[in-house]
Structure 1
Amino acid sequence: MNILSFRNLILGSFLSFSSIAIAQEDSAKINISQDEMIAELAETKTKLQKSHNIGDRFVIQLFSGSNGEASNQIKDYEALYEYPARIKYEAPNYKVWIGNFRNRLEADRALLIIKETYPSAFIPKPKRK
């Protein structure tokens, strides 16, 4: 009788521990709900970053002059460097701007590299938006 009660005790312990483990497995599922506006906000920020319309960013100016010459400058530049380049019109000139640097230190580091090929390149003061 003693062996039967010991088996029952082991069997009961096993069943109770397995049911606790199953109950914990069910409660470990996490449901994360996210507001729809978060995805829209992230998409808007990405668009602003690609269009270079975010805050006080630093650029390097390579050239200022006519549109045709600015296009030629960009073609020459893109063959040599990886920083993004764009043409910006500020009456009466077209300007070739390089990069979209978060701070002056990043812009200065890139300027040192670019000045080897374009000695007249400089960092204009960013405008506040």
Structure 2
Amino acid sequence: MLRRTKLIITSSLLLGFSALGTAQEGTQNIVQDERIPELLALKTQMTKDSRLGDRYRIQLYSGDNNQASKIIKEYRALYPDWPSTVVYETPNYKVWVGNFRNSLEADRALLEIKKTFPAAFRFKPEKR
């Protein structure tokens, strides 16, 4: 009697789950605003340009424009993999390197760059 009750309960549960599984099948239509892909592309570009998200950079130099130009040319000849730029922050021109996602990436690059530019340091620029 107990065995027969277990069999009935088990059969009922299996039938219930299979019915539940077939009841969940169906089709769905997703309507998406046509501006979403454009916005995603814009967000990706802003992230790459470090206007969005927390990024780290390395500063090689701060001073006059002529010396900044010399340093960035020397840097680009030695390390073409990391992007570099000259930024003007009154009253100095600064040579900034990289656009690192986290401090670990920046520190690894800094160890390599310090071999040639010992005054280099890692920092997190303020958002504009």
TM-score by length of 2: 0.68
Instruction: Tell me what 1:75 maps to.
Output: 73
C-alpha contact 2:51 2:127 (8 A) present in aligned 1: no
Structure 1 residues 102 and 50, CA gap change in structure 2 (3 angstroms):
closer
1:55 paired to 2:44: no
C-alpha separation between the residues in 1 aligned to 2:74 and 2:44? 28
**1:88: Cα distance to partner?**
1.2
C-alpha separation between the residues in 2 aligned to 1:92 and 1:55? 27
Look up the SS of the partner of 1:127 in the other structure: coil
1:95 paired to 2:94: yes
C-alpha separation between the residues in 2 aligned to 1:38 and 1:74? 38
1:119 paired to 2:112: no
Structure 1 residues 128 and 50, CA gap change in structure 2 (3 angstroms):
closer
C-alpha separation between the residues in 1 aligned to 2:56 and 2:48? 15
C-alpha separation between the residues in 2 aligned to 1:89 and 1:44? 26
C-alpha separation between the residues in 1 aligned to 2:117 and 2:89? 21
Which ranges of structure 1 fall in alignment gaps of 5 or more residues? 1-30
**1:33: Cα distance to partner?**
6.1
Q: Deviations over 1:61-117 (max 9, x none)?
A: 000011222111111100011200011111110100000111111100000010111
Instruction: Tell me what 2:17 maps to.
Output: none
C-alpha separation between the residues in 1 aligned to 2:124 and 2:50? 15
Identity of aligned residues (%): 59
Which ranges of structure 2 fall in alignment gaps of 5 or more residues? 1-28
* Aligned-residue CA RMSD (Å): 2.1
Q: Matched residue pairs, number?
A: 100
C-alpha separation between the residues in 1 aligned to 2:105 and 2:59? 14
Tell me which protein shows more helix as a share of its residues: 1
C-alpha contact 1:56 1:127 (8 A) present in aligned 2: no
C-alpha contact 1:88 1:94 (8 A) present in aligned 2: yes
C-alpha separation between the residues in 2 aligned to 1:65 and 1:43? 36
